[in-house]
Amino acid sequence: MKHYTLIGEKLGHSLSPQIHERLFALRGREADYDLTEIPRSDTASQFPKLRETGGFNITIPYKTEIMPYLDRLDRTAELYGAVNCVQVRDGVLTGYNTDCDGFLLSVRELGASLSGSVLLVGCGGVGRMIAIAAALEGADLTVQVIEPDIPLAEKTAAEIHSHRPDAPVTIITAEQPHAEHYDLLVNATPVGMFPKTEACPVAEELIGRCDAVFDVIYNPLETQLLKKAKALGKPCENGLAMLVWQAVSAHRIWDGDEYTSEEVRGIIAEMEKLL
């Protein structure tokens, strides 16, 4: 039986074992998946043991720290400067980034366009990766940030332009004018999570001018942003879909397994019941 794991510092409420074990079961693979908590003071001694696994995932705070321990980096890891999935093959560790696969596949299933106008709220962490992914997909990207985060957004815009010099990227604050219409609105801020569950990152009037809405938050499953979007009849999705779809990409990397949209939606529905 192959063994897979997720490494991180604090993993108490992770859904990863349930998601991955469902994916293994769907393809009849004899494999298990568990959680490996590694203290920051003990990272170097733990990483070599991971060569004995079938593959593994990485979460905070090791997505960048693990990179020097790997033998190879896929272009996705180089592009986003972080690794969340490692393939182990013949003792060789190859790092990938499937986080943005999760985002792109979730948006595709939502039926939203990434080749049109996209409003991204927030640009730190996952927001940075979403900004790069959307721009490389052809989006006309507007990034809304709070004033102290403008330098961070400008740095991300520079990264985007190093890969696609002609990419249209506009940086604004909430007080500045927005476009009349956006094909997709993405929230990549913690606004809507505990303890800000009653807060919404944008005004309802702005939601009404967006064709679809994606919120990276999945706990709670329905943020104020998503509630308002649903009330306006907008197609919308939370970050649980992103979590499951990035796991699907990991199984493609590890074992070459493919999954249907129906199978993935079934797992998303199962995971919703666990939250």
Catalytic residue among 2, 63, 196, 228: 63
85-89 vs 92-96, strand pairing mode: antiparallel
- Give the phi and the psi of residue 144 in degrees, each rounded to 5: -100, 125
The answer to whether 228 is a known catalytic residue is no
> What residues act catalytically?
63
